[in-house]
Structure 1
Amino acid sequence: MQPIVQPFFDPVTGTVTYVVFQSGNQECAVIDPVLDYDPKAGRTSTTNADKVIEFVHRRELRVQWILETHAHADHLSAAHYLQRELGGKIAIGEHIRAVQGVFKKLFNLEPEFRLDGSQFDHLFREDEAFSFGGLTARALYAPGHTPADTAYLIGDAVFVGDTLFMPDVGTARCDFPGGNAHTLYRSIRKLLDLPGDIRLFMCHDYPPEGRKPEWETTVLAQRMHNIHVRDGVTEEQFVSMREARDATLAMPVLILPSVQVNIRAGEFPHTEENGTRYLKIPLNAL
């Protein structure tokens, strides 16, 4: 099965949202939707998400799943907004519960915030199968960037989340809470054990100077050309490179606002007595 994959690239965050469906079938999935956020004004908008909505309506599709690969640190999720407008079940890997536990402590979230993943409609188990629109799919547990990353194998396509980037960019960082470079290497090698012609779709692209954004490659291309983890790179070599590189990286601009929203499946914190919702900024904590 070769699903149709429609990408939507957000140049502000470097994120790619996907609509995935089968020709001749109206059921679809949306993967990693973006909610626009202006950190200077603390204001959200829906320009990126509305492009997805317009496409779904124009193609007369029905959203069955809104799939998150993980609790992103570089953009706010539009999952809650899209569900309100288009329906579908919001889903993520079951290990989101560990991430919720870490960040509930960091942000001192309200006591009633639950650590069981119940903010999402479905939590995928490792290798759990599911389907939509004539397509068979499987949730592939792929930790390392965070302890809760999940990739989605849908037909001949894998949506890798924050594990791999395009071959000339490499791999994701591992220095967030619960991240681990050894674990990421092993997760990536599992993905690269898939057949060479399997299509891989990135969650992000941060292109080097002179290249336009790209987000589709293959298992074979990654095995041959990925600058961090191509064939022949050992686990020890990868970990040494990744840990040294991560030590030089600044925190993502939107990590503090985005994680608070994304562990809630894209919903904002409750309105306070004055009618306003707030996101917290912990001082000297990261």
Structure 2
Amino acid sequence: MSEHVIRQSAEISPATTALVEPFFDPVTSTVTYVVHSGRDSACAIVDPVLDYDPKSGRTSTDSAQRVIAFVREYGLTVQWLLETHAHADHLSAAPFLKQELGGTIAIGEHIRSVQGVFRAVFNLARTVAADGSEFDHLFKDEETFQVGPLAARAMHVPGHTPADLAYQIGNAVFVGDTLFMPDVGSARCDFPGGDAHTLYRSARKLLGLPDDTRLFMCHDYPPASRGPSFQTTVAAQRHGNIHLHDGVSEDAFVQMRSARDSTLAMPNLILPSIQVNIRAGRLPEPEDNGVRYLKIPLDAL
């Protein structure tokens, strides 16, 4: 478990402003964030991306190297490597960043249920314990922690998956896949353990924060009228989110979300991503020929 002091409290003071540096990966539409309080301070890295080419089966660290360059340029010390959930659209670079920069790899404690489901799908009983031990720390709902002088807390916001967390650091909240930008709406709920009723309630939890709270998206899938954008506010979401603005009832949201999800294809990288990310981003061990292999379960999903 983490060496950092963990407290159980929901009280967060935004007295020290969180500085946020985004890194957008256009291949997976994922945003990685470095959160810090200035040069030579501690930092957290949220949702880091390991590049993966499914045609060749090759990984690379170009996206992670951009993050490393920024951290080193600003003299930052990595305290946390935070995963909002076990992503289905990209592989995590957390182990590589930990090797290069240090830090504690953390996720929500409900990752255990996700591990249990996909350990069975991929037949990984010998390599995945399904107790969360692949991660350095498992956050409980409303658990508080520090990023240097920045007060932070983990907020359990399930619905997209059972294990989704949002991280509030100062007055910045990294929402994972619970919300997207107002003109994009909300995340799908048709993965194992997902639930549209639960997502609605998680979204209302986030939208109950003060209006000026900054919200940072995990992804952006912009309409043709604009480029990628990742930052909004609680007020903007409550006024303009096309799926979850004020006045949308839970039943109406569930009806819309369920109909929409029934038309969606699986993410391109779901098979490699899930089996790597439930291991905290660690790749399978090499076999006796020195090569690592990922599995493709046939007719299982």
TM-score tier, shorter chain, comes to over 0.9
- Out of 140-149 and 273-282, give the one that drifted further: 273-282
The CA distance in 2 between the partners of 1:112 and 1:45, in whole Å, is 23
- Native 8 Å contact 1:90 1:121 kept in 2: yes
The CA distance in 2 between the partners of 1:188 and 1:133, in whole Å, is 28
Counterpart mapping for 1:1-286 below 5 A: 1-23=16-38, 25-286=40-301
Aligned-partner SS, 2:273: helix
1:100-144 C-alpha deviation (Å, 9 max, x unpaired): 000000000142421110100000001000002100000000000
The amino acid across from 1:190 in the alignment is K
The amino acid across from 1:42 in the alignment is G
The CA distance in 2 between the partners of 1:279 and 1:110, in whole Å, is 15
The CA distance in 1 between the partners of 2:250 and 2:212, in whole Å, is 24
Runs of 4 or more consecutive aligned structure 1 residues displaced over 3 Å after TM superposition: none
1:210 Cα deviation after fit: 2.2
The CA distance in 2 between the partners of 1:100 and 1:203, in whole Å, is 21
1:147-202 C-alpha deviation (Å, 9 max, x unpaired): 00000000000000000000000000000000000000000000000000000000
Partner of 2:10: none
The CA distance in 2 between the partners of 1:152 and 1:240, in whole Å, is 28
- Native 8 Å contact 1:192 1:223 kept in 2: yes
Aligned-partner SS, 1:56: helix
The CA distance in 1 between the partners of 2:111 and 2:84, in whole Å, is 10
- Native 8 Å contact 1:200 1:216 kept in 2: yes
The CA distance in 2 between the partners of 1:214 and 1:78, in whole Å, is 22
The CA distance in 2 between the partners of 1:173 and 1:128, in whole Å, is 26
1:208-246 C-alpha deviation (Å, 9 max, x unpaired): 012100000000000000000000000000000000000
TM-aligned CA distance change 1:153 to 1:236, over 3 Å: same
Root-mean-square deviation (CA, aligned residues, Å) is 0.8
The CA distance in 1 between the partners of 2:152 and 2:83, in whole Å, is 14
- Native 8 Å contact 1:223 1:229 kept in 2: yes
Aligned-partner SS, 2:138: strand
Superposition TM-score, scaled by structure 1 size: 0.99
Partner of 2:7: none
TM-aligned CA distance change 1:10 to 1:24, over 3 Å: closer
Superposition TM-score, scaled by structure 2 size: 0.94
Aligned-partner SS, 1:185: helix
> Gaps (5+ residues) in structure 2?
1-15
1:23 Cα deviation after fit: 2.5
The CA distance in 2 between the partners of 1:206 and 1:178, in whole Å, is 23
Aligned-partner SS, 2:35: strand
- Native 8 Å contact 2:40 2:74 kept in 1: no
1:25 Cα deviation after fit: 4.9
The CA distance in 1 between the partners of 2:272 and 2:127, in whole Å, is 19
> Gaps (5+ residues) in structure 1?
none
1:2 Cα deviation after fit: 1.8
Seq. identity, %: 69
The amino acid across from 2:256 in the alignment is M
- Native 8 Å contact 1:16 1:32 kept in 2: yes
Q: Give the total of aligned pairs.
A: 286
